[in-house]
């Protein structure tokens, strides 16, 4: 067991480099299943979730190697199985991404229901409805789904009831090898969708419109492997940007695409922070006590749900009252109990948190309830008097590569300890 120990009160000053995007690399690794020759990836974050999905591919008979730091080589010339092991599937929700590629490559898949962070209902119904529209026959049994394509995958026009990122990606992958044209309407528009489509097109797919709410996919007969560089992680970058603002710091976040950070940059400026944008970096300067602001999470290009806990913790130190509304996941306020232990003044009513700013957080022994909440609580520890101990950090490791090392470069007093 491991814990993070944070001694607060230090202003963050320095430069930190963002890793490749977790939410981009996982579906891209899954998509490599469809290539009949090897793929090579650069800027791969060495995260627990990347290790898990790599194991999922290995269980299918695919060769996965990391010969250099932050690089991954995948040889999917041969795919031996269409049934990933239950224990791997239940470790991580993103393992469900292999369903679309397996249906496209093998014509069938046996998939156990996925696991992951308990941040609310994230049903796979939208994925399944999309697959059925492509001609997939589903047999849902206790804990797993048997999927077959008796007449092959056929292009279709599919309207998503909600612009689900995962469903858009999963169905887009399957449609890349379907017969005919597929139109995805009310599709998710996130940068990670654009990244996946870009990789698929390098493999030989014919996809247009990624990044808009209508995506057109002209099916092809075969895809080959391709080399691809993973885009920067906008959530990791945003976490460091918020940490700089709330500590009154001066931090340059390198390897970031400012156009992906527009909602966050707007809110940081509204709260009183100074934000300077460059081509591939952002500088954030904390300009005294933050002002209270209202934030509502929305699908991209709105404010990302994955940065809601971090901005809420920052606003907990504002000089006023803030309203944070969560419109994506209903259990995204699980960090509030832990923040209250640290002196935070937060009242949750339904999907809204009313946050009254306090001058300082108080050190405490706390538990990370999920990935983004864990990162937010680390940030609270940076602003607390005394020594904060954070357990449950296996959640944090799922989405942040060496968070303690990156924060230490900017002057934070934070270390990882092993507990027997």
The residues, ordered by sequence, that sit 6+ positions from 75 with a Cβ below 8 Å of its Cβ are 37, 38, 62, 63, 64, 225
Q: Is 117 assigned a catalytic role?
A: yes
Measuring CA to CA, how many Å separate 68 from each of 40, 73, 94, 392? Answer: 11, 9, 24, 29
Question: What's the CA gap between 214 and 74, in Å, rounded?
Answer: 30
Report CA torsion sign: 286, 289, 291, 296. Answer: positive
Question: How deeply is 1 buried, as exposed, middle or buried, from its count of CB atoms within 10 A (0-12, 13-18, 19+)?
Answer: exposed
Strand 365-367 relative to strand 352-356, pairing: unpaired
Q: C-alpha 294: how far from its chain's center?
A: 23
Question: What's the CA gap between 242 and 98, in Å, rounded?
Answer: 33
CB 379 within 8 A of CB 242: yes
Q: C-alpha 391: how far from its chain's center?
A: 21
Active site residues: 117
């Amino acid at each position: 067991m491991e814990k993070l120990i944070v001694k607060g009160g230090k202003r963050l000053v320095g430069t930190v480099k963002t890793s490749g995007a977790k939410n981009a690399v996982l579906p891209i690794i899954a998509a490599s299943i469809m290539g009949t020759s090897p793929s090579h990836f650069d800027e791969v974050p060495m995260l627990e979730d990347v290790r898990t999905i790599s194991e999922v591919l290995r269980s299918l008979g695919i060769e996965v190697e990391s010969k250099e730091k932050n690089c991954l080589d995948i040889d999917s010339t041969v795919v031996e199985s269409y049934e990933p092991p239950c224990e791997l599937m239940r470790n991580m929700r993103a393992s469900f991404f292999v369903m679309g590629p397996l249906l496209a490559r093998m014509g069938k898949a046996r998939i156990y229901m996925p696991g992951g962070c308990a941040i609310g209902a994230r049903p796979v119904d939208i994925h399944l409805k999309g697959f059925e529209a492509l001609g997939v026959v589903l047999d849902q049994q206790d804990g797993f789904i048997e999927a077959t394509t008796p007449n092959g995958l056929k292009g279709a026009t599919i309207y998503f009831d909600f612009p689900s990122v995962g469903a858009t990606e999963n169905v887009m992958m399957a449609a890349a090898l379907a017969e005919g044209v597929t139109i995805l309407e009310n599709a998710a528009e996130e940068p990670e969708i654009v990244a996946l489509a870009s990789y698929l097109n390098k493999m030989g797919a014919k996809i247009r419109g990624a990044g808009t709410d209508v995506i057109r996919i002209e099916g092809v007969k075969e895809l080959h492997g391709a080399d691809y560089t993973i885009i920067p992680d906008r959530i990791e970058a945003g976490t460091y940007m918020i940490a700089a603002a709330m500590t009154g710091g001066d931090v340059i976040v390198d390897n970031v695409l400012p156009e992906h950070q527009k909602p966050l940059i707007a809110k940081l400026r509204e709260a009183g922070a100074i934000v300077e944008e460059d081509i591939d970096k952002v500088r954030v300067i904390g300009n005294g006590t933050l002002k209270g602001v209202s934030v509502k999470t929305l699908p991209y290009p709105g404010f990302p749900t994955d940065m809601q806990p971090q901005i809420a913790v920052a606003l907990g130190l504002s000089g006023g009252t803030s309203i944070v509304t969560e419109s994506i996941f209903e259990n995204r306020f699980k960090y509030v109990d832990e923040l209250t232990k640290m002196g935070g003044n937060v009242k949750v009513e339904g999907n809204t948190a009313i946050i009254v700013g306090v001058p300082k957080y108080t050190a405490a022994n706390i538990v990370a309830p999920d990935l983004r909440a864990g990162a937010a609580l680390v940030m609270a520890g940076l602003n607390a008097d005394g020594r904060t101990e954070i357990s449950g950090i296996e959640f944090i490791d799922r989405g942040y590569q060496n968070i303690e090392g990156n924060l230490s470069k900017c002057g934070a007093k934070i270390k990882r300890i092993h507990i027997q």
